[in-house]
Amino acid sequence: MNGGKTILILGGGVGGLVAAHSLRERLGREHRVVLVDKSRQHVFAPSLLWLMVGWRGVPQITGDLGRLPQRGIEFVQAEVLAIDPAARKVTTSAGEFAADYLVVALGAELAPQAVPGLAESAHWYYDVGGAERLRGALAKFDGGRVALVVAGMPYKCPGAPWEGALLLDYYFRQRGIRDKVEMSAYTPEPLPMPVAGPVVGKALKEMVEARGIAFSGQAKLTAVDPARHESVFEGGKKVEYDLLVTIPPHRCPQVVKDSGLAGETGWVSIQPRTMATAFERVYALGDVTMIKLANGKPLPKAGVFAHGQAEAVARTIAAEVMRAGKPAEFSGEGYCIVETGYGRAAVGAGNFYTEPDPAVALQLPSRYSHLSKVAFEKYWLWRWFGGRLPGVEALADRVVFGKALPTA
Ligand SMILES: Cc1cc2nc3c(=O)[nH]c(=O)nc-3n(C[C@H](O)[C@H](O)[C@H](O)COP(=O)(O)OP(=O)(O)OC[C@H]3O[C@@H](n4cnc5c(N)ncnc54)[C@H](O)[C@@H]3O)c2cc1C
Protein backbone atom coordinates (compact mmCIF):
# COMPACT_ATOMS: atom_id res chain seq x y z
CA MET A 1 0.00 0.00 0.00
CA ASN A 2 1.55 3.27 -1.08
CA GLY A 3 0.65 6.93 -0.62
CA GLY A 4 -1.63 8.55 1.91
CA LYS A 5 -4.49 6.46 3.19
CA THR A 6 -7.93 7.60 4.29
CA ILE A 7 -9.39 6.09 7.44
CA LEU A 8 -13.08 6.88 7.64
CA ILE A 9 -14.74 6.58 11.04
CA LEU A 10 -18.53 6.57 11.24
CA GLY A 11 -19.76 7.85 14.61
CA GLY A 12 -18.21 10.29 17.08
CA GLY A 13 -19.37 8.60 20.28
CA VAL A 14 -17.05 6.75 22.63
CA GLY A 15 -15.64 4.29 20.09
CA GLY A 16 -15.32 6.69 17.17
CA LEU A 17 -13.69 9.41 19.24
CA VAL A 18 -11.10 7.10 20.77
CA ALA A 19 -10.33 5.41 17.43
CA ALA A 20 -9.88 8.80 15.70
CA HIS A 21 -7.49 10.14 18.33
CA SER A 22 -5.50 6.95 18.63
CA LEU A 23 -5.11 6.76 14.84
CA ARG A 24 -4.10 10.40 14.59
CA GLU A 25 -1.47 9.92 17.25
CA ARG A 26 -0.03 6.88 15.42
CA LEU A 27 -0.27 7.79 11.72
CA GLY A 28 1.91 10.13 9.71
CA ARG A 29 0.31 13.37 8.52
CA GLU A 30 0.11 12.13 4.92
CA HIS A 31 -2.75 9.88 6.09
CA ARG A 32 -6.23 11.30 6.64
CA VAL A 33 -8.43 10.50 9.63
CA VAL A 34 -12.02 11.55 8.86
CA LEU A 35 -14.85 11.25 11.39
CA VAL A 36 -18.53 11.57 10.42
CA ASP A 37 -21.32 12.18 12.93
CA LYS A 38 -24.79 13.64 12.46
CA SER A 39 -24.40 15.58 15.69
CA ARG A 40 -21.68 18.04 16.66
CA GLN A 41 -22.34 17.29 20.30
CA HIS A 42 -20.50 14.39 21.94
CA VAL A 43 -22.36 13.32 25.10
CA PHE A 44 -20.60 11.71 28.07
CA ALA A 45 -23.48 9.29 28.71
CA PRO A 46 -22.66 8.18 32.29
CA SER A 47 -23.40 11.74 33.42
CA LEU A 48 -26.94 11.66 31.98
CA LEU A 49 -27.96 10.26 35.37
CA TRP A 50 -26.61 13.35 37.06
CA LEU A 51 -28.33 15.52 34.45
CA MET A 52 -31.58 13.76 35.34
CA VAL A 53 -31.35 14.72 39.03
CA GLY A 54 -30.10 18.25 38.30
CA TRP A 55 -26.48 17.81 39.45
CA ARG A 56 -25.16 18.68 35.99
CA GLY A 57 -26.14 20.94 33.10
CA VAL A 58 -25.75 19.97 29.42
CA PRO A 59 -22.50 21.95 28.82
CA GLN A 60 -20.83 20.11 31.72
CA ILE A 61 -21.35 16.69 30.13
CA THR A 62 -20.81 17.37 26.42
CA GLY A 63 -17.92 18.11 24.08
CA ASP A 64 -17.82 19.85 20.68
CA LEU A 65 -16.77 17.54 17.82
CA GLY A 66 -16.21 20.73 15.78
CA ARG A 67 -12.91 21.04 17.67
CA LEU A 68 -11.48 17.84 16.18
CA PRO A 69 -9.69 19.61 13.27
CA GLN A 70 -7.50 21.34 15.89
CA ARG A 71 -6.17 17.84 16.56
CA GLY A 72 -5.64 16.92 12.92
CA ILE A 73 -8.89 14.93 12.62
CA GLU A 74 -11.27 15.99 9.83
CA PHE A 75 -14.83 16.28 11.12
CA VAL A 76 -17.86 16.01 8.84
CA GLN A 77 -21.19 16.80 10.44
CA ALA A 78 -23.53 14.72 8.32
CA GLU A 79 -25.95 11.85 8.50
CA VAL A 80 -24.69 8.52 7.18
CA LEU A 81 -27.30 7.47 4.60
CA ALA A 82 -25.76 4.36 3.03
CA ILE A 83 -22.71 2.16 3.58
CA ASP A 84 -21.21 -0.09 0.92
CA PRO A 85 -18.77 -2.21 2.93
CA ALA A 86 -17.48 -4.21 -0.05
CA ALA A 87 -16.39 -1.02 -1.85
CA ARG A 88 -15.72 0.88 1.44
CA LYS A 89 -17.88 3.74 0.17
CA VAL A 90 -20.22 5.78 2.31
CA THR A 91 -23.02 8.12 1.26
CA THR A 92 -23.80 10.93 3.67
CA SER A 93 -25.97 14.03 3.66
CA ALA A 94 -22.73 15.94 2.90
CA GLY A 95 -21.70 13.78 -0.06
CA GLU A 96 -19.86 10.53 -0.78
CA PHE A 97 -16.68 9.30 0.85
CA ALA A 98 -14.32 6.51 -0.15
CA ALA A 99 -12.04 4.91 2.40
CA ASP A 100 -9.00 2.67 2.54
CA TYR A 101 -10.13 1.59 6.01
CA LEU A 102 -13.65 1.92 7.39
CA VAL A 103 -14.54 1.89 11.10
CA VAL A 104 -18.25 1.64 11.89
CA ALA A 105 -19.07 2.98 15.36
CA LEU A 106 -22.65 4.19 14.94
CA GLY A 107 -23.90 2.92 18.31
CA ALA A 108 -27.41 1.74 19.19
CA GLU A 109 -30.59 3.75 18.61
CA LEU A 110 -33.35 4.20 21.17
CA ALA A 111 -36.68 2.88 19.93
CA PRO A 112 -39.37 3.69 22.55
CA GLN A 113 -41.98 3.40 19.77
CA ALA A 114 -41.27 -0.36 19.60
CA VAL A 115 -43.63 -0.91 22.58
CA PRO A 116 -47.17 0.41 22.02
CA GLY A 117 -47.93 3.41 24.25
CA LEU A 118 -44.40 3.65 25.69
CA ALA A 119 -43.11 6.70 23.78
CA GLU A 120 -46.21 8.76 24.72
CA SER A 121 -46.21 7.88 28.40
CA ALA A 122 -42.70 7.16 29.64
CA HIS A 123 -39.69 9.20 30.62
CA TRP A 124 -36.10 8.07 30.16
CA TYR A 125 -32.61 9.31 30.92
CA TYR A 126 -30.86 7.58 28.02
CA ASP A 127 -30.34 10.72 25.92
CA VAL A 128 -29.97 14.42 26.65
CA GLY A 129 -33.54 15.39 25.70
CA GLY A 130 -35.01 12.53 27.71
CA ALA A 131 -32.91 13.27 30.80
CA GLU A 132 -33.86 16.97 30.68
CA ARG A 133 -37.58 16.18 30.34
CA LEU A 134 -37.36 13.70 33.20
CA ARG A 135 -35.63 16.30 35.38
CA GLY A 136 -38.58 18.63 34.71
CA ALA A 137 -41.11 15.89 35.56
CA LEU A 138 -39.23 14.99 38.75
CA ALA A 139 -39.26 18.61 39.90
CA LYS A 140 -43.08 18.59 39.72
CA PHE A 141 -43.43 15.13 41.30
CA ASP A 142 -44.47 15.24 44.96
CA GLY A 143 -45.25 11.58 45.55
CA GLY A 144 -46.93 8.51 44.11
CA ARG A 145 -46.01 5.28 42.32
CA VAL A 146 -42.78 5.30 40.31
CA ALA A 147 -42.38 2.32 37.97
CA LEU A 148 -38.87 1.76 36.58
CA VAL A 149 -39.14 -0.52 33.56
CA VAL A 150 -36.45 -2.03 31.35
CA ALA A 151 -38.49 -2.28 28.14
CA GLY A 152 -36.28 -4.52 25.98
CA MET A 153 -33.01 -6.35 25.57
CA PRO A 154 -30.20 -5.66 24.83
CA TYR A 155 -29.62 -2.18 26.25
CA LYS A 156 -26.59 0.01 26.89
CA CYS A 157 -24.76 -0.22 30.18
CA PRO A 158 -26.11 -3.13 32.25
CA GLY A 159 -25.58 -1.17 35.47
CA ALA A 160 -27.48 1.97 34.42
CA PRO A 161 -31.06 0.87 35.31
CA TRP A 162 -29.96 -0.02 38.87
CA GLU A 163 -27.86 3.10 39.12
CA GLY A 164 -30.94 5.08 38.05
CA ALA A 165 -33.12 3.33 40.65
CA LEU A 166 -30.65 3.98 43.50
CA LEU A 167 -30.06 7.56 42.45
CA LEU A 168 -33.79 8.32 42.22
CA ASP A 169 -34.28 6.83 45.69
CA TYR A 170 -31.55 9.14 46.99
CA TYR A 171 -33.02 12.11 45.12
CA PHE A 172 -36.46 11.56 46.72
CA ARG A 173 -34.83 11.21 50.16
CA GLN A 174 -32.91 14.44 49.67
CA ARG A 175 -36.18 16.19 48.83
CA GLY A 176 -37.78 14.70 51.95
CA ILE A 177 -40.55 12.94 50.01
CA ARG A 178 -39.27 9.35 49.92
CA ASP A 179 -42.03 8.15 52.32
CA LYS A 180 -44.62 9.38 49.80
CA VAL A 181 -43.01 7.51 46.87
CA GLU A 182 -43.58 3.83 46.12
CA MET A 183 -40.78 2.53 43.88
CA SER A 184 -40.75 -0.70 41.87
CA ALA A 185 -38.40 -2.00 39.15
CA TYR A 186 -39.17 -4.44 36.32
CA THR A 187 -36.82 -6.12 33.87
CA PRO A 188 -36.98 -9.06 31.43
CA GLU A 189 -33.73 -10.35 32.99
CA PRO A 190 -33.89 -12.82 35.91
CA LEU A 191 -31.52 -10.64 37.96
CA PRO A 192 -29.70 -7.35 37.44
CA MET A 193 -26.62 -7.71 35.18
CA PRO A 194 -27.07 -11.46 34.56
CA VAL A 195 -24.00 -11.54 32.32
CA ALA A 196 -21.84 -10.97 35.41
CA GLY A 197 -23.27 -14.09 37.07
CA PRO A 198 -25.66 -14.78 39.95
CA VAL A 199 -23.39 -13.52 42.75
CA VAL A 200 -23.17 -10.02 41.26
CA GLY A 201 -26.86 -10.14 40.26
CA LYS A 202 -28.05 -11.06 43.75
CA ALA A 203 -25.80 -8.44 45.36
CA LEU A 204 -27.25 -5.71 43.10
CA LYS A 205 -30.81 -6.92 43.69
CA GLU A 206 -30.24 -6.82 47.46
CA MET A 207 -28.79 -3.32 47.17
CA VAL A 208 -31.92 -2.16 45.33
CA GLU A 209 -34.33 -3.92 47.70
CA ALA A 210 -32.50 -2.62 50.78
CA ARG A 211 -33.49 0.86 49.62
CA GLY A 212 -37.18 -0.06 49.55
CA ILE A 213 -37.42 -0.62 45.78
CA ALA A 214 -39.40 -3.75 44.85
CA PHE A 215 -37.58 -5.82 42.19
CA SER A 216 -39.43 -7.96 39.61
CA GLY A 217 -37.33 -10.06 37.22
CA GLN A 218 -38.50 -11.83 34.06
CA ALA A 219 -41.08 -9.10 33.53
CA LYS A 220 -41.44 -8.41 29.82
CA LEU A 221 -43.24 -5.18 28.97
CA THR A 222 -45.72 -5.61 26.11
CA ALA A 223 -47.66 -2.33 26.13
CA VAL A 224 -48.43 0.82 28.08
CA ASP A 225 -51.90 2.30 28.44
CA PRO A 226 -51.36 6.06 28.75
CA ALA A 227 -55.00 6.80 29.59
CA ARG A 228 -55.09 4.34 32.52
CA HIS A 229 -51.45 4.93 33.56
CA GLU A 230 -50.85 1.21 33.34
CA SER A 231 -47.86 -0.87 32.19
CA VAL A 232 -48.84 -4.25 30.80
CA PHE A 233 -46.48 -7.23 31.03
CA GLU A 234 -46.38 -10.59 29.27
CA GLY A 235 -48.90 -12.88 30.94
CA GLY A 236 -51.31 -9.98 31.46
CA LYS A 237 -49.91 -8.49 34.68
CA LYS A 238 -50.75 -4.76 34.94
CA VAL A 239 -48.89 -2.22 37.01
CA GLU A 240 -50.31 1.24 37.71
CA TYR A 241 -47.91 4.16 37.84
CA ASP A 242 -47.88 7.89 38.41
CA LEU A 243 -44.41 8.28 36.90
CA LEU A 244 -43.07 5.76 34.40
CA VAL A 245 -39.30 5.74 33.86
CA THR A 246 -38.06 3.37 31.19
CA ILE A 247 -34.89 2.07 29.63
CA PRO A 248 -36.30 2.18 26.07
CA PRO A 249 -35.79 -0.70 23.65
CA HIS A 250 -32.61 -0.35 21.55
CA ARG A 251 -32.05 -1.23 17.91
CA CYS A 252 -29.23 -1.28 15.37
CA PRO A 253 -29.33 1.85 13.14
CA GLN A 254 -31.29 1.11 9.94
CA VAL A 255 -28.42 2.33 7.74
CA VAL A 256 -26.22 -0.41 9.20
CA LYS A 257 -28.90 -3.07 8.72
CA ASP A 258 -29.37 -1.97 5.10
CA SER A 259 -25.62 -2.22 4.44
CA GLY A 260 -25.52 -5.98 4.90
CA LEU A 261 -23.16 -5.60 7.87
CA ALA A 262 -25.74 -6.71 10.43
CA GLY A 263 -26.01 -10.43 10.99
CA GLU A 264 -28.79 -12.71 12.26
CA THR A 265 -28.82 -11.01 15.64
CA GLY A 266 -29.76 -7.70 14.01
CA TRP A 267 -26.38 -6.26 15.08
CA VAL A 268 -22.98 -6.34 13.38
CA SER A 269 -21.12 -9.62 13.87
CA ILE A 270 -17.40 -9.14 14.40
CA GLN A 271 -14.37 -11.14 15.43
CA PRO A 272 -14.41 -10.71 19.25
CA ARG A 273 -10.74 -9.77 19.61
CA THR A 274 -9.96 -7.95 16.35
CA MET A 275 -13.36 -6.36 15.59
CA ALA A 276 -12.91 -7.36 11.95
CA THR A 277 -16.14 -7.72 9.96
CA ALA A 278 -16.66 -10.09 7.04
CA PHE A 279 -15.43 -7.28 4.74
CA GLU A 280 -11.78 -6.54 4.09
CA ARG A 281 -10.45 -3.49 5.98
CA VAL A 282 -13.87 -2.81 7.50
CA TYR A 283 -14.10 -2.88 11.30
CA ALA A 284 -17.07 -2.36 13.59
CA LEU A 285 -17.00 -1.70 17.31
CA GLY A 286 -19.04 -0.69 20.32
CA ASP A 287 -22.80 -0.76 20.71
CA VAL A 288 -23.52 -1.40 17.02
CA THR A 289 -21.99 -4.88 17.37
CA MET A 290 -23.02 -8.12 19.03
CA ILE A 291 -20.37 -10.43 20.48
CA LYS A 292 -21.51 -13.76 21.87
CA LEU A 293 -19.62 -14.80 25.02
CA ALA A 294 -18.64 -18.34 26.01
CA ASN A 295 -21.73 -18.59 28.24
CA GLY A 296 -24.00 -17.74 25.29
CA LYS A 297 -24.86 -14.27 26.61
CA PRO A 298 -23.92 -11.15 24.62
CA LEU A 299 -21.08 -8.88 25.68
CA PRO A 300 -22.88 -5.91 27.29
CA LYS A 301 -23.09 -2.68 25.37
CA ALA A 302 -20.82 -0.33 27.33
CA GLY A 303 -18.48 2.57 26.76
CA VAL A 304 -15.63 0.78 28.45
CA PHE A 305 -15.78 -1.96 25.80
CA ALA A 306 -16.20 0.48 22.90
CA HIS A 307 -13.10 2.25 24.23
CA GLY A 308 -10.94 -0.88 24.48
CA GLN A 309 -12.10 -2.09 21.08
CA ALA A 310 -11.37 1.28 19.46
CA GLU A 311 -7.82 1.27 20.84
CA ALA A 312 -7.22 -2.21 19.46
CA VAL A 313 -8.64 -1.37 16.01
CA ALA A 314 -6.61 1.85 15.81
CA ARG A 315 -3.40 0.02 16.70
CA THR A 316 -4.08 -2.68 14.13
CA ILE A 317 -4.80 -0.21 11.32
CA ALA A 318 -1.83 1.97 12.27
CA ALA A 319 0.52 -1.05 12.34
CA GLU A 320 -0.62 -2.03 8.84
CA VAL A 321 -0.49 1.48 7.37
CA MET A 322 2.82 2.47 8.98
CA ARG A 323 4.33 -0.99 8.62
CA ALA A 324 5.54 -0.62 12.20
CA GLY A 325 4.28 -1.84 15.57
CA LYS A 326 2.00 -4.82 16.05
CA PRO A 327 -1.70 -5.40 15.51
CA ALA A 328 -3.62 -5.38 18.80
CA GLU A 329 -6.47 -7.35 20.30
CA PHE A 330 -9.30 -6.43 22.63
CA SER A 331 -8.89 -8.31 25.91
CA GLY A 332 -12.50 -8.40 27.13
CA GLU A 333 -11.62 -6.41 30.28
CA GLY A 334 -14.23 -4.01 31.54
CA TYR A 335 -15.69 -2.31 34.57
CA CYS A 336 -18.72 -0.32 35.55
CA ILE A 337 -19.03 2.28 38.30
CA VAL A 338 -22.59 2.19 39.66
CA GLU A 339 -23.54 5.39 41.48
CA THR A 340 -25.59 4.46 44.55
CA GLY A 341 -26.35 7.90 46.06
CA TYR A 342 -25.05 9.23 49.41
CA GLY A 343 -21.83 10.21 47.57
CA ARG A 344 -20.92 6.55 47.02
CA ALA A 345 -20.57 4.16 44.12
CA ALA A 346 -20.02 0.41 43.65
CA VAL A 347 -17.61 -1.00 41.05
CA GLY A 348 -18.16 -4.19 39.05
CA ALA A 349 -14.99 -5.21 37.19
CA GLY A 350 -13.42 -8.17 35.46
CA ASN A 351 -12.76 -9.97 32.21
CA PHE A 352 -15.83 -10.83 30.15
CA TYR A 353 -13.94 -13.18 27.82
CA THR A 354 -13.03 -15.76 30.48
CA GLU A 355 -14.63 -19.21 30.11
CA PRO A 356 -17.07 -20.62 30.92
CA ASP A 357 -18.37 -17.35 32.49
CA PRO A 358 -17.05 -13.80 32.79
CA ALA A 359 -14.93 -13.36 35.93
CA VAL A 360 -16.58 -10.25 37.37
CA ALA A 361 -16.57 -9.09 41.00
CA LEU A 362 -18.62 -6.34 42.65
CA GLN A 363 -17.05 -4.12 45.30
CA LEU A 364 -19.21 -2.57 47.99
CA PRO A 365 -20.16 1.09 47.51
CA SER A 366 -17.47 3.52 48.61
CA ARG A 367 -16.77 7.22 48.60
CA TYR A 368 -13.55 6.51 46.70
CA SER A 369 -15.44 4.89 43.78
CA HIS A 370 -17.83 7.84 43.59
CA LEU A 371 -14.87 10.24 43.43
CA SER A 372 -13.28 8.06 40.69
CA LYS A 373 -16.49 8.38 38.69
CA VAL A 374 -16.44 12.18 39.03
CA ALA A 375 -12.72 12.24 38.15
CA PHE A 376 -13.31 10.05 35.11
CA GLU A 377 -16.01 12.42 33.80
CA LYS A 378 -13.62 15.39 34.08
CA TYR A 379 -10.79 13.38 32.55
CA TRP A 380 -12.93 12.25 29.59
CA LEU A 381 -13.98 15.72 28.49
CA TRP A 382 -10.52 17.17 29.02
CA ARG A 383 -8.79 14.29 27.21
CA TRP A 384 -10.75 14.66 23.97
CA PHE A 385 -11.89 18.29 24.02
CA GLY A 386 -9.59 20.17 26.42
CA GLY A 387 -6.21 21.83 26.04
CA ARG A 388 -3.35 19.59 24.85
CA LEU A 389 -0.83 18.31 27.39
CA PRO A 390 0.68 15.31 25.54
CA GLY A 391 2.93 13.99 28.35
CA VAL A 392 0.14 14.26 30.91
CA GLU A 393 -2.34 12.65 28.48
CA ALA A 394 -0.14 9.60 27.99
CA LEU A 395 0.31 9.24 31.76
CA ALA A 396 -3.38 9.80 32.50
CA ASP A 397 -4.44 7.21 29.90
CA ARG A 398 -2.40 4.60 31.69
CA VAL A 399 -3.38 5.59 35.23
CA VAL A 400 -7.10 6.12 34.63
CA PHE A 401 -7.74 3.02 32.62
CA GLY A 402 -5.03 0.68 33.87
CA LYS A 403 -4.77 -0.17 30.17
CA ALA A 404 -5.02 -3.77 29.13
CA LEU A 405 -2.95 -2.98 26.04
CA PRO A 406 0.82 -2.49 26.21
CA THR A 407 2.24 0.89 25.21
CA ALA A 408 3.07 0.85 21.50
C1 LIG B 1 -27.46 6.67 30.93
C2 LIG B 1 -26.27 5.91 30.43
C3 LIG B 1 -25.24 5.62 31.31
C4 LIG B 1 -24.14 4.91 30.85
N5 LIG B 1 -23.13 4.65 31.73
C6 LIG B 1 -22.04 3.95 31.31
C7 LIG B 1 -20.96 3.67 32.22
O8 LIG B 1 -20.98 4.08 33.38
N9 LIG B 1 -19.92 2.95 31.75
C10 LIG B 1 -19.87 2.47 30.45
O11 LIG B 1 -18.90 1.82 30.09
N12 LIG B 1 -20.88 2.73 29.58
C13 LIG B 1 -21.95 3.46 29.98
N14 LIG B 1 -22.97 3.73 29.10
C15 LIG B 1 -22.94 3.15 27.74
C16 LIG B 1 -22.06 3.93 26.78
O17 LIG B 1 -22.44 5.28 26.75
C18 LIG B 1 -22.18 3.32 25.39
O19 LIG B 1 -21.99 1.94 25.47
C20 LIG B 1 -21.14 3.94 24.46
O21 LIG B 1 -21.44 5.30 24.25
C22 LIG B 1 -21.06 3.18 23.14
O23 LIG B 1 -20.14 3.80 22.30
P24 LIG B 1 -20.31 3.74 20.70
O25 LIG B 1 -19.18 4.51 20.16
O26 LIG B 1 -20.51 2.34 20.29
O27 LIG B 1 -21.70 4.46 20.40
P28 LIG B 1 -22.15 5.93 20.78
O29 LIG B 1 -21.31 6.49 21.87
O30 LIG B 1 -23.62 5.84 21.03
O31 LIG B 1 -21.88 6.76 19.46
C32 LIG B 1 -22.58 6.57 18.27
C33 LIG B 1 -22.48 7.85 17.46
O34 LIG B 1 -22.98 7.61 16.14
C35 LIG B 1 -23.72 8.72 15.72
N36 LIG B 1 -24.67 8.28 14.69
C37 LIG B 1 -25.62 7.31 14.80
N38 LIG B 1 -26.25 7.13 13.63
C39 LIG B 1 -25.71 8.01 12.74
C40 LIG B 1 -25.91 8.29 11.37
N41 LIG B 1 -26.83 7.62 10.63
N42 LIG B 1 -25.17 9.24 10.79
C43 LIG B 1 -24.22 9.91 11.49
N44 LIG B 1 -23.98 9.69 12.79
C45 LIG B 1 -24.70 8.74 13.43
C46 LIG B 1 -24.39 9.25 16.97
O47 LIG B 1 -24.73 10.61 16.86
C48 LIG B 1 -23.31 9.00 18.04
O49 LIG B 1 -22.48 10.12 18.24
C50 LIG B 1 -24.07 4.47 29.51
C51 LIG B 1 -25.10 4.80 28.63
C52 LIG B 1 -26.18 5.51 29.08
C53 LIG B 1 -27.29 5.85 28.11
Q: Is 256 found in the same domain as 245?
A: no
Q: Is 233 found in the same domain as 143?
A: yes
- Distance of CA 110 from the midpoint of ligand 1 (Å): 11
pLDDT tens column, 140-180: 999 999 999 999 999 999 999 999 999 999 999 999 999 99
Q: Is 237 found in the same domain as 145?
A: yes
Of 185, 219, 249, which residue constitutes the final position of a domain? 249
Any domain includes 343: no
Q: Is 90 found in the same domain as 158?
A: no
Note the pTM of the prediction, 2 decimals: 0.95
pLDDT tens column, 33-75: 999 999 999 999 999 999 999 999 999 999 999 999 999 999 9
Q: Is 121 found in the same domain as 96?
A: no
Q: Is 243 found in the same domain as 291?
A: no
Range of the domain at 274: 6-108+252-331
Q: Is 77 found in the same domain as 34?
A: yes
Of 276, 303, 331, which residue constitutes the final position of a domain? 331
Q: Answer yes or no: are the C-beta atoms of 338 and 166 closer than 8 Å.
A: yes
- Distance of CA 248 from the midpoint of ligand 1 (Å): 14
* Residue 181 belongs to domain with CATH number: 3.50.50.60
Q: Is 212 found in the same domain as 117?
A: yes
Any domain includes 391: no
Q: Which amino acid residue places its CA nearest to atom 52 of ligand 1?
A: 45
Q: Domains in the chain: how many in total?
A: 2
Q: Is 191 found in the same domain as 116?
A: yes
Q: Which amino acid residue places its CA nearest to atom 3 of ligand 1?
A: 46
Share of the chain above pLDDT 70, in %: 94
pLDDT tens column, 382-396: 999 986 666 666 666
- Measured from CB, residues less than 6 Å from any atom of ligand 1 are 11-16, 36-39, 45-46, 48-49, 79-80, 105-107, 125-126, 156-157, 160, 253, 255, 286-288, 301-304, 306, 336-337
- Distance of CA 73 from the midpoint of ligand 1 (Å): 20
pLDDT category at 325 given cuts 50, 70, 90 is confident
Pocket test for ligand 1, best of 9, 10, 14, 166 (most atoms within 8 A of CB): 14
Q: Is 116 found in the same domain as 103?
A: no
Q: Which amino acid residue places its CA nearest to atom 26 of ligand 1?
A: 286
Q: Which atom of ligand 1 lies at the shortest distance from residue 338's CA?
A: 8
Give the pLDDT score at 329: 97
Q: Which amino acid residue places its CA nearest to atom 37 of ligand 1?
A: 106
Give the Å distances, CA to CA, from 267 to 288, 289, 298, 352, 408.
6, 5, 11, 19, 31
Q: Answer yes or no: are the C-beta atoms of 214 and 185 closer than 8 Å.
A: yes
